[in-house]
């Protein structure tokens, strides 16, 4: 079986704002076209009656024009859920390797994100030195910023 | 004047600080007497950059960036409307201070919340680097000291002697994070 990782989907309250955040703070780039999806096929796929979705893909940094994307969608009707916690079971965070964790965290803050914990240095046995932190995008999705050295 | 956006800037932006209008009229000069901040009424016209003061400021900011500080810009399009420079290195005998090295908003952009937002970003950086307090060596003028007091600053428990040497008249303050 052939398999290739292609995208991670984020359901956003405001997809334009969230896409702008990932572009400004972490260098993601738009991968057009914008999506405006509806119809019986979408209802069938999602299992939602009268489903409507708008959004776009962002190319993640470091993989060129054929790399994986963030798919940021906003549904016309959404289901509320509690704030994410870093130890909540399920998909937990997006991790970005950066050349300077301090500057990357500041960029996340300036773009409207927030910090989750503190910047930490540690040595992971058998792997190496790691400087990293957890942050959150403007909608509370957790991001890890890391540098191995 | 457009919507203000906040960005992290690199050292290539340091010379652009010269474009900020630093002029202001202040009504009081502060000093520390018997462990308290006291105001002396005095009208002071702060002039535009002199060559010497500009060179000192640009060199100071560059040194801070070389030491790992973060340079936040408040941007009106591609124009620098204000900035904050905040350290990422813990200081003081208790290693619980991070220094706010520089904060300035250009004259046309004052009283619009830029300094408050730049302070919020600086506090967040300090907090996430493990600081309990933000350390500020403030110009002893009412605009600076009054603003920092409005942000919760009080006299620092511990004075950084290196910063005293750089600004002997400065008011050394801290904000609990």
CATH code of A143's domain = 3.10.180.10
String of DSSP letters for A87-139: T-SS--EEEEE-S-HHHHHHHHHHTT-EE-S--EEEEETTTEEEEEEEEE-TT
Q: CA–CA distance from B40 to each of A21, B147, B153, B156 (Å)? A: 46, 17, 19, 20
**Mean pLDDT estimate for chain B:** 94
What 3-state class would DSSP assign to A8? strand
Has residue A34 been placed in a domain?
yes
b/e code B65-83 from CB counts within 10 Å (16+ = b): beeebbbbbbbbeeebbbb
Query: Which residues of B fall within a CB distance of 8 Å from A109?
Result: 121, 124-125
Has residue A38 been placed in a domain?
yes
Has residue A33 been placed in a domain?
yes
Query: Does the beta-carbon distance from B8 to A103 stay under 8 Å?
Result: yes
Query: Does the beta-carbon distance from A107 to B8 stay under 8 Å?
Result: yes
Range of the domain at A114: 93-148
pTM higher than the cut 0.90: no
Instruction: Give the tokens for residue A64.
Output: 């060129």
Has residue A2 been placed in a domain?
no
Measure in Å the smallest separation between the Cα of B117 and chain A Cα atoms. 9
- The domains of chain B, with CATH numbers, are 4-176 (3.40.630.30)
Query: Does the beta-carbon distance from B125 to A117 stay under 8 Å?
Result: no
Q: What is the pLDDT of residues B1-52, one digit of tens each?
A: 789 999 999 999 999 999 999 999 998 899 999 889 988 888 899 999 999 9
Has residue A81 been placed in a domain?
no
Has residue A82 been placed in a domain?
no
Give the single-character DSSP code of B141: B
Query: Does the beta-carbon distance from B8 to A102 stay under 8 Å?
Result: no
What's the pLDDT score for residue B139? 93
When scoring A98, A101, A105, A106 by the number of chain B Cβ atoms within 10 A, the one with the most, hence best to mutate, is A106
Of A103, A107, A118, the CB nearest to B128: A118
Domain boundary among A31, A47, A75: A75
Domain boundary among A49, A75, A101: A75
ipTM of the complex, rounded to two decimals: 0.85
Let me know whether A24 and A69 are in one domain.
yes
Let me know whether A62 and A106 are in one domain.
no
Cα separation of A112 and B4, whole Å? 13
Query: Does the beta-carbon distance from A110 to B124 stay under 8 Å?
Result: no
Query: Where residue B86 falls among pLDDT bands split at 50, 70, 90?
Result: very high
Let me know whether A61 and A98 are in one domain.
no
pLDDT in tens, chain A (149 residues): 777 888 999 999 999 999 999 999 999 999 999 999 998 888 887 878 898 999 999 999 999 998 999 999 999 988 877 767 777 777 778 999 999 999 999 999 999 999 888 898 998 888 889 999 999 999 999 999 999 98
Domain boundary among A75, A108, A129: A75
Of B7, B72, B88, the CB nearest to A102: B88
Place of tokens 């600081």: B131
Let me know whether A15 and A65 are in one domain.
yes
Let me know whether A64 and A12 are in one domain.
yes
Measure in Å the smallest separation between the Cα of B88 and chain A Cα atoms. 7
Has residue A87 been placed in a domain?
no
Has residue A86 been placed in a domain?
no
Q: What is the mean pLDDT of residues B133-151?
A: 94
């Amino acid at each position: 079986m052939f398999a290739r990782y292609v995208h991670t989907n984020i359901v956003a309250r405001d997809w334009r704002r969230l896409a702008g955040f990932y572009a400004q703070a972490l260098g993601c780039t738009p991968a057009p076209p914008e999506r405006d999806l509806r119809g019986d096929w979408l209802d069938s796929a999602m299992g939602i009656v009268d489903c409507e979705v708008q959004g776009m893909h962002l190319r993640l940094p470091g993989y060129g024009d054929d790399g994986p994307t963030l798919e940021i969608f906003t549904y016309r009707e959404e289901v509320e859920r509690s704030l994410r916690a870093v130890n909540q079971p399920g998909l937990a965070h997006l991790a970005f390797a950066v050349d300077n964790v301090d500057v990357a965290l500041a960029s996340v803050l300036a773009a409207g994100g927030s910090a989750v914990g503190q910047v930490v240095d540690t040595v992971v046995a058998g792997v190496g030195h790691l400087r990293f932190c957890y942050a959150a995008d403007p909608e509370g999705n957790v991001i890890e910023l890391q540098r191995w050295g | 004047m457009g919507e203000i956006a906040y960005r992290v800037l690199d050292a290539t932006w340091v010379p652009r600080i010269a474009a900020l209008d630093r002029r202001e009229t202040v009504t009081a000069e502060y000093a520390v007497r018997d462990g308290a901040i006291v105001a002396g009424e005095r009208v002071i016209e702060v002039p535009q950059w002199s060559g010497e003061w500009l060179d000192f400021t640009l060199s100071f900011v560059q040194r801070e960036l070389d030491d790992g500080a973060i340079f936040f810009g408040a941007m009106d399009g591609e124009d620098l409307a204000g900035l904050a420079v905040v350290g990422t290195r813990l200081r003081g005998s208790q290693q619980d201070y991070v220094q706010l090295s520089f904060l300035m908003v250009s004259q046309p952009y004052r009283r619009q919340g830029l300094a408050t937002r730049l302070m919020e970003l600086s506090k967040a950086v300090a907090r996430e680097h493990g600081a309990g307090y933000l350390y500020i060596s403030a110009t002893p003028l009412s605009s600076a000291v009054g603003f920092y007091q409005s942000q919760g600053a009080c006299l620092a428990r511990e004075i950084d002697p290196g910063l005293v040497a750089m600004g002997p008249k400065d008011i050394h303050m801290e904000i609990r994070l």
